[in-house]
Amino acid sequence: MTKPAKTFENLPDEKRERVLAEATREFADHGFHQASVNRIVNRLGIAKGSLFKYFGNKEGLFEYLFGHAVAEFKKPLKAIRDNGTGDFFDRIEQTFLASGAFVDAHPNIYRIYLKMLFNERFPLRERFLGEIRKAHAKFLRQLIEDGKKRGDLPAGLDAADAVFILHSTMDRFLQGYAVPSLDHGVEPTENTLHDKARAMTDLFRHGLGGSREG
């Protein structure tokens, strides 16, 4: 898939990373079409031709950097699945926290993801979103199956609905976490990642009605 010219692979580590970081920032700031190759190379102080030699075109550059990021995207999930502790709901809470940590570590990648989500013209969108979605669904389905076996969840729970609910909630939870301007017009009493993850988990555990003292 994502194969840049060997010339890029042969670059000194530091420069290679600077190129990717600067490009990632540009795509995160402006989306794909509005991102400017000019700005990227100007900030980097390299020739425009070089970037095109490395990646063929703008799309190739994007494919390379986002493809790499998607792999990173999946790692937190694998870690929970393999090393999670506690019951189903504890693991969900851990997933929330791990996702938040990823967003903290790679804010620009997450910003690109969010732009891609609703920009149907974003190149490679179907492929990348499909990949991410599939990984999430697979992870969540397995968590649900385990939860049913362990008795944390009713055996009759519809897995598809549950996946939808869990994925949606997590996604939106991260959206609000990554883009604080989406806050809801109420100054929350607690605004930390942990508190919100806990609130969401409580919701899954008990519903709003059973929420113990908020």
Partner DNA sequence: TATGAATGAGCCTTCATTCAT
Partner DNA sequence: CATGAATGAAGGCTCATTCAT
Residues in 124-163 at the binding interface with a copy of itself, rule: CB under 8 A:
126, 129-130, 133-134, 136-138, 140-141, 152-154, 156-163
Residue 20 interacts with which of DNA, a copy of itself, none, CB < 5 to 8 Å by class? none
Q: Is 50 in the site for DNA (CB under 7 A)?
A: yes
Residue 14 interacts with which of DNA, a copy of itself, none, CB < 5 to 8 Å by class? none
Tokens of 40: 């990227």
Residue 98, helix vs strand vs coil: helix
Q: Is 192 in the site for DNA (CB under 7 A)?
A: no
Of 2, 21, 39, 117, which one interacts with DNA (CB under 7 A)?
39
- Quote the least distance from Cβ 35 to a copy of itself, whole Å: 11
What is the spatial distance between Cα 108 and Cα 91, in angstroms, rounded to a whole number? 26
* Dihedral sign of CA atoms 166, 167, 170, 175 in order: negative
What is the spatial distance between Cα 57 and Cα 40, in angstroms, rounded to a whole number? 13
Q: Is 47 in the site for DNA (CB under 7 A)?
A: yes
Taking residues 66 to 105 in sequence order and writing x for each that binds a copy of itself by CB under 8 A, - otherwise, the string is -----------------------x----------------
Q: Is 119 in the site for DNA (CB under 7 A)?
A: no
> Cβ closer to DNA: 14 or 161?
14
Q: Shortest CA distance to 107 belongs to which of 197, 25, 13?
A: 25
Residue 161 interacts with which of a copy of itself, DNA, none, CB < 5 to 8 Å by class? a copy of itself
Q: Is 47 in the site for a copy of itself (CB under 8 A)?
A: no
Question: Which helix H or strand E contains 131, and what residues bound it?
Answer: helix 125-150
Tokens of 163: 């996946």
- DSSP state at residue 99: H
- DSSP state at residue 188: -
Q: Is 210 in the site for a copy of itself (CB under 8 A)?
A: yes
Q: First-to-last CA distance in the chain?
A: 48
- DSSP state at residue 180: G
List interacting residues with DNA (CB under 7 A). Answer: 5-7, 10-11, 15, 35-39, 46-50, 52-54, 56-59
